[in-house]
Copies of this chain bind each other. A is one copy, B any other.
Amino acid sequence: MTGGYLKGRIRREDIITAAAAAYGELGYHGSSLREIAKRVGISHAGLLYYFPTKEALLAAVLERRDAEDSEREQLTVPPGLAVLRHFVALAEHNVRHPGIVDLYSRLAAEAVAPDHPAHEYFVRHYRAARDGVHESFAALAARGELRDGVEPALAALTFIALMDGLQVQWLTVPGDVDLVGSLRFYLQNLLTVPL
């Protein structure tokens, strides 16, 4: 790796970090490339060298977020209790990283509009999250570890929605909301075995 290449990578990562912070504070629509360049301490033209459009930079921010999540998730975990415990662990991680949660909540609320450049990302994100949890609830149901009458698809949908809704309330008044305890409460209430 040449010094120039390494310097370029660091600069690129710096821009992504600054963009994530700006999106969290001002929203995607409220953040200009000019403002983000200023935060990094480079010129507008210098930023355009790495990210020629606003959309390209947003895509890089979302890609990094997914890469960080996948790194933490052991994708070899079989469907069932272990997957649910993983989500609780993700919530424990999020409690220590409010900036990431803030960025995610802001973008999710903006990206409900079909013409938002992150819209398709969130459509895929929600489906993948629901499908993953659905599979685990179905496996639990097959083993008799889900309470009678609990429909795995609805349990999955409400679980993902609950995580999102709790995050916004927790960001608003951290002291009022036990993020991790609430998720445990919800999951335990669906199960016939300890979480």
In the assembly, what is the distance between CA of A25 and CA of B151, in Å?
Answer: 35
Q: Which applies to chain A's interface (DSSP): helix, strand, loop or mixed?
A: helix
Q: Mark A152-184, 1 if CB is under 8 A from B, else 0.
A: 001101101111111011011100111001100
Specify how many copies of this chain sit in the oligomer.
Answer: 2
A185 at interface, CB cutoff 8 A:
yes
Q: Mark A115-142, 1 if CB is under 8 A from B, else 0.
A: 0000100110011001000000000000
Given contacts A119-B172, A182-B161, contact A102 B106 (CB under 8 A): no
Q: Are B173 and A169 in contact (CB under 8 A)?
A: no
A105 at interface, CB cutoff 8 A:
yes
A21 cross-chain contacts in B, Cβ below 8 A = none
Give the contacts of A16-64 with B (CB-CB under 8 A): 25-27, 29-30
Shortest CB-to-CB span from A126 to chain B, Å, is: 5
Shortest CB-to-CB span from A148 to chain B, Å, is: 11
Q: A106-B110, A109-B109, A189-B189 are in contact. List 10 more A-B contacts (CB 8 A).
A: A26-B29, A106-B109, A126-B172, A126-B176, A157-B166, A157-B169, A157-B182, A160-B165, A162-B165, A165-B166
